[in-house]
Amino acid sequence: MKTYPRLITLLVLAAVSMACAGGGDPGFLEQVQVHNTLTAEERAEGWVLLFDGETFEGWRGLGRDGIPEGHWVIEEGAIKKVPSGEVPLQADGQPLEGGDLMTERTFENFELYLEWKISPAGNSGIKYNVSEEMSTSHPPRYAALGFEYQILDDQRHPDAQKGPNRTAGALYDLIAPKDKTLEPVGEFNSTWIIFRGNHGEHWLNGVKVLEYDLGTPRMDDLLAASKYRGITGFGEKRRGHIVLQDHTDAVWYRNIKIREIGHY
C-alpha cells in the first residue's frame, strides 16, 4: 500500500494538532486548522487555490455565464451543493434547472487536491478532462462529460450495489478503487488526483486507490464497456475544466488547490 508524501505530512500535522488541543501551543493549533489557504512552501512549488473560502471567483456553471442560482452556496468555508429538494422553484412549481459547477480555467497536466464530505446516502463526483463544448452538445446540457472521481456514501447509496467501480474513489463506471479507507459520513475525506500525460491516479485519504493509462488495450476495453462508449473523443486527453457535479444530494468541498506539472 503506497502513500503520497504530502498527504502523510498533512495527516501528521492533523495528529499533532489534536495532541496540542490537550494543552499544547494554541497558536500552532490555530495555524493547522486554517482552511482554503496555501503555505509558503506550497506557493513556491506552484500550487494555486481554486477556492478562496468566501466567493465563487474562478468558477461558473457549465454552459452558463454565472453560478446556477440556488443550487450552490458557500457554507462555513466550503462550496456546498444544495440538495435538490431545497432548491428554488419556478412559478409553476417545477424546479429551476440546475447545473454542474466548473472552473473557468482549463488544465492539462496537474495535481489536484481537495477535501469533501457527503450527506447520508449522498452521491456526487469530481470531474476532470472536461470539454465544455462536448458536454453541452450531449444531453443533459448542463452536465459535464469527463473522467469522474466518484463521491459516495458507500453504505447507503444504491449505486454502490451496482459495482465497485461506482463506489467512492472510483474512476466512475470504469475502474474500482482498492485498499481505501473512508471517513464516516459527515466528516471530511481528502482526495488527490494526478493527471499527467496519459497517466492518471486517484488517491483517497493518503492512499493511492487506482491508476490507469489512456491509449492502452486495458483502458480501451474499459471505455468500450462503459456508459461512455458512444461518445466520440470522450477518452482522449485534452486541456479540460475541473467540475463539481450537480447531483441531487448535499456535498461539501473545501481546500481546493491545483498544481500544473510538466508532461513526462
Map residue 243 onto helix, strand or coil. Answer: strand
Domain ranges for the chain, please list them: 1-34, 36-260
Given a contact cutoff of 8 angstroms between Cβ atoms, the answer to whether 207 and 179 are in contact is yes
Note the CATH number of domain 36-260: 2.60.120.560
User: Would the pLDDT of 18 be above 80?
Assistant: no
| Full-model pTM | 0.86
In this predicted structure, what is the pLDDT of residue 7?
Answer: 52
24 pLDDT above the threshold of 90: no
pLDDT tens digit sequence for 91-126: 654 445 668 999 999 999 999 999 999 999 999 999
Cell of 92: 409553476
pLDDT, position 98 = 63
Q: Which of 193, 169, 186, 155 is nearest to 78 (CA)?
A: 186
What does the block give as the cell for 221?
Answer: 476495453
Which is more confident, 10 or 69?
A: 69
Q: CA-CA distance, 212 to 231, in Å (whole number)?
A: 20
Q: How far apart are CA 192 and CA 189, in angstroms?
A: 10
